[in-house]
Amino acid sequence: MKLFEPVLSLIYPPKCLLCQDFLPKGTVDLCPFCQRRQPEYTARFPQIPFLHHRLAVWYYEIDVRASLVRFKFYKKRHYAKGYARFLGAKILRELSGKFDVIVYVPVSRRRKQERGYDQVKILARALSRELKVPVVHALKKIRHTPPQSGMKTEAERKANVLGAYRVRKPKSIAGKRVLLIDDIITTGATISECARMLLSADAAVVHGAAVAAARTDNNFYRENDHATFFQRPGR
């Protein structure tokens, strides 16, 4: 496949992940402009129940949002490789040596049939190659849920995903330190529910990482919820 890459890049010259401009020679993933003004996630990440460490590469806004929409709905599957490079670099800076396996937040079977692929699974595989850590297909979405973006309140988001995921291979994560990944974290309700399930199947700890996360001012997990954060859910 390597042999054909130069030929492929003549037919499909590589474009910037964020703004879609053609990439000047010698640059990868981002054009010089986006390299300078990429909305790097720099704030202290808000607490999310059941997740220990949390991180994201970018804020979920403007070009990042458009890029993830192309990845998710418009078949730009190859973005996974670029996302994984940024995500992998940040994970190595903040979580190096702190996890044994990668688990991803899966889509429902119906959603996969509509789109033809599970974008987070593709991202997980790219990240696995980047970090040399295995992916475990530990979660299954057992109930189709309406999109979280359509939920009006925080309580609705939480209720929408409650019990929507099941652990498929409990043995493969028992005692393991899990890096749980998703493409986007908005309020954290989905990734929190997945982490809860992994902990109830005896994962040692769950860290969360995403390509992008919403700004924190509308996050519904407040500081005073702290007491519930790292507790194991009841069996």
* Residues at the contact surface with Zn ion, assessed by CB under 5 A: 16, 18-19, 31, 34
Buried b (16+ CB within 10 A) or exposed e, 24-48: eeeeebbbeebeeebbebeeebbbb
Residue 13: half-sphere exposure toward Cβ, Cα within 13 Å: 9
Minimal distance in Å, beta carbon 24 to Zn ion? Answer: 10
Minimal distance in Å, beta carbon 34 to Zn ion? Answer: 3
Minimal distance in Å, beta carbon 91 to Zn ion? Answer: 23
Closest to 79 in 3D by CA, of 149, 24, 26, 127 = 127
Q: What are the strands, taking DSSP E only, across the chain?
A: 54-59, 101-104, 139-141, 165-167, 177-185, 205-213
Minimal distance in Å, beta carbon 33 to Zn ion? Answer: 5
Residue 18 or residue 135: which is nearer to Zn ion going by CB? 18
Minimal distance in Å, beta carbon 22 to Zn ion? Answer: 10
Residue 34 or residue 167: which is nearer to Zn ion going by CB? 34
What one-letter code names the amino acid at 170?
P
Residue 21 or residue 156: which is nearer to Zn ion going by CB? 21
Residue 87 or residue 205: which is nearer to Zn ion going by CB? 87
Residue 64 or residue 198: which is nearer to Zn ion going by CB? 64
CA distance 105 to 92: 20
